[in-house]
Copies of this chain bind each other. A is one copy, B any other.
Amino acid sequence: MTVTIYDVAREAGVSMATVSRVVNNNPNVKPQTRKKVFEAIERLGYRPNAVARGLASKKTTTVGVVIPDISNMNFAEVARGIEDIATMYHYNIILCNADKKKDKEIRVINTLLEKQVDGLLFMGGTVTDEHIQAFRTSSVPVVLCATADGNNTIPSVDIDHEKASLDAVKLLIDHGHRKIGMISGTLQDPALGYARYHGYKQALENAGIPFNENYVRVGNYRYESGIEAMKFFLDLEDRPTAVFAATDEMAIGAIHAIQDAGLKVPEDISVISVDNSRIASMVRPQLTSVAQPMYDIGAVSMRLLTKLMNKESTDQNKYVLPHDVIKRQSVAQK
């Protein structure tokens, strides 16, 4: 039924070792022989069996990528960076979606390891002890991308989430705002939730602005929750003159809530966020937002992984990539 290397060998009148050499581009084959073999391969429609190859060579030339949420544009962008570099170094990548569930993440990590990937890229989610445990049992290198573990025991590539939101809030402060609301993500989420919240507090503190509990609302990263949170702020007696949202979507929700209340952005209330996703330019006014280098995070982490897989030395264990605030139209002077 299936054509094996042995069939090709017979067809070409050579040994299977020679066929293997041809398939693997080993130079020690007479051009004529090579030609014969290629013809036989063509005639028989031979397709190498990567599973057998992986078993024999103990290498699969594939790296596993666990992506926490396939429908999140940011992660998709990271994945693109990973892929481009992987292709460059002749690795296949297999993407496994973990659907934002921790147990699925663990399961997927193990599946990937069982599949004998040559390396593992863990994207996004929170890194718990259970994760660390799973990584420890791995005999192949692991790189965290767009996330990091608390103790930095595992190589990682990420941005400084706290600094990113600090910079966002600082821009508001620099525009004269002192009553600044925050629409946060869940504080249980270390990167997007807690770090951004903490950056917000830090920025206030740096400017000597007292923290006001009423100025913080927790959302779920989505548009609707941005609307809800903003409505709350709007109803406040002493409402904020500027709002910082942890994601673009929530920021857009906030903008619409403001507009629905008959107020204007940024004239009445300024809005800023972190993400700089494509939708940031798809609102009126266009959204000022902190850009994170998602593609680069993917690219750098894949490059790091190739070094690790090659047992090359790496200059660092933890890479922090710079972010950038993209000024558009949603922030104005107080």
Interface residues of A (CB under 8 A from B): 1-2, 45, 47-52, 54-55, 60, 62, 70-71, 73, 76-77, 79-80, 83, 92-97, 99, 110-111, 113-116, 137, 139, 223, 249, 252-253, 256, 259-260, 278-279, 281-284
Contact = CB atoms under 8 A, between A and B. Distances in A.
B92 A111 contact: yes
A70 B60 contact: no
Given A70-B76, A70-B80, A83-B99, 8 more contacts: A49-B116, A50-B111, A62-B115, A80-B99, A83-B97, A92-B96, A223-B281, A283-B283
- So how many copies of this chain end up in the complex? 2
Contacts of A259: 284
A282 B279 CA distance: 9
A7 B115 CA distance: 19
Contact of A45 (B71, B137, B253, B284): B137
A76 B83 contact: no
Contact of A97 (B47, B95, B97, B115): B95
Contacts of A73: 71, 73
A106 to B, nearest CB: 13
Contact of A116 (B50, B70, B79): B50
12 contacts: A1-B139, A47-B110, A48-B114, A50-B114, A70-B70, A70-B76, A71-B77, A79-B97, A83-B99, A92-B96, A95-B97, A282-B283
